[in-house]
């Protein structure tokens, strides 16, 4: 099936297909659980995540503290739930900046071609030639640590892959009878790109985005681990792992618990992405 034959999936049909895909269903359940826990964090955590009780520092898991306490006596379970908030917020900001920028560059380059394509794709190649994670770390080091700066750094280094993919698909569509017919009835310019090119480019972009989400989570955790993420004492999974490494041989749970949260979240997004590929990509399933 060609790119022109891909049509957007209706809401109910799409939800049905997700439920019938084991990997997509499993990933969706875990992702929704994490999102719900993050949104309802103030109402479900047993303690203030920033409350320090030095008398209870480095306590093992118990009835009072289900996942133990860290080096400052803070409840790890409470910090784990609250720590999902900055991680997911950073992922959301990156997605809202990265995917639209890359898709827009790719569509303009593929549709207009000529000089515009050469300029846009050379810029894309330059950005893509740098190691993404190292470039993001450099940006954060220059701009300073923080959630927004980390999101901007990751977004500005992650869009080229979407641009190249969208450019190839748009170039194929530009020569298709589908767009020729649309132009014959008077649909041109932005209306043509928005209403006829974008819907056909989106499915593959969504698949790539879902596959990239786990990598973005790991990158966000890496920023936090190196102290380039949110500022203390705000709970964040990467910084929690960094704190736990100082006592990992004696109080292993301090680092293991947030590390496991990162693993489970990344796995859930990978499962969801695998299911979405089967649903949205006609070459699979």
Give the whole-angstrom CA distance, residue 64 versus residue 128: 49
* Stretch among 163-172, 183-192, 220-229 having the lowest mean pLDDT: 183-192
Q: What is the chain's alpha carbon radius of gyration, rounded to the nearest angstrom?
A: 22
Q: What is the pLDDT of residue 5?
A: 44
The label of the residue with tokens 């964040």 reads 236
13 confidence band (pLDDT: 50, 70, 90): low
Is 259 within 8 Å of 236 (Cβ atoms)?
no
14 confidence band (pLDDT: 50, 70, 90): low
Residue 197 in this model has a pLDDT that exceeds 50: yes
- Nearest of 109, 132, 138, 108 to residue 218 by alpha carbon: 132
Average pLDDT for residues 214-234, to the nearest whole number? 84
Q: Phi, psi (5° rounding) for residue 72?
A: -110, 10
pLDDT in tens, 208-222: 888 888 888 888 888
Class of domain 9-57+67-280: mainly alpha
pLDDT in tens, 42-98: 999 999 999 898 888 899 998 888 999 998 999 999 999 999 998 888 888 888 989
Torsion from C-alpha of 143, 130, 98, 35, nearest 10 degrees: -80
Is 78 within 8 Å of 47 (Cβ atoms)?
yes
- Nearest of 193, 238, 222 to residue 79 by alpha carbon: 238
Q: Provide the whole-model pTM.
A: 0.83
- The full set of domain ranges for the chain reads 9-57+67-280
Burial class (CB in 10 A: 0-12, 13-18, 19+), 42: exposed
- Nearest of 2, 3, 8, 33 to residue 271 by alpha carbon: 33
Which regions of the chain does DSSP assign to beta strands (E)? none
Burial class (CB in 10 A: 0-12, 13-18, 19+), 175: exposed
């Amino acid at each position: 099936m060609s790119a022109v034959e891909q049509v957007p999936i209706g809401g109910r049909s799409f939800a049905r297909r997700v439920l019938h895909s084991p990997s997509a269903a499993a990933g969706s359940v875990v992702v929704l659980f994490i999102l719900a826990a993050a949104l309802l964090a103030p109402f479900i955590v047993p303690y203030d995540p920033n409350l320090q009780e030095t008398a209870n520092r480095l306590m093992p898991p118990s009835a009072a503290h289900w996942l133990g306490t860290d080096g400052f006596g803070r409840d790890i379970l409470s910090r784990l739930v609250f720590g999902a908030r900055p991680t997911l917020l950073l992922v959301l900001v990156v997605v809202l900046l990265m995917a639209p920028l890359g898709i827009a560059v790719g569509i303009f380059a593929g549709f207009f071609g000529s000089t515009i394509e050469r300029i846009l794709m050379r810029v894309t190649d330059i950005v893509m030639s740098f190691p993404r994670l190292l470039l993001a770390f450099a940006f954060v080091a220059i701009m300073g640590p923080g959630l927004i700066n980390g999101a901007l750094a990751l977004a500005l280094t992650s869009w080229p892959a979407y641009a190249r993919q969208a450019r190839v698909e748009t170039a194929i569509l530009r020569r298709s009878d589908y767009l020729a017919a649309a132009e014959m009835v008077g649909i041109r310019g932005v209306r043509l790109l928005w209403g006829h090119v974008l819907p056909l480019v989106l499915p593959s972009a969504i698949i790539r985005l879902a596959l990239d989400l786990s990598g973005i989570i790991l990158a966000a955790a890496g920023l936090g681990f190196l102290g380039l993420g949110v500022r203390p004492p705000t709970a964040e999974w990467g910084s929690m792992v960094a704190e736990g490494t100082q006592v990992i041989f004696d109080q292993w749970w301090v680092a293991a618990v947030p590390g496991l949260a990162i693993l489970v979240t990344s796995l859930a997004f990978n499962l969801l992405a695998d299911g979405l590929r089967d649903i949205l990509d006609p070459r699979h399933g």
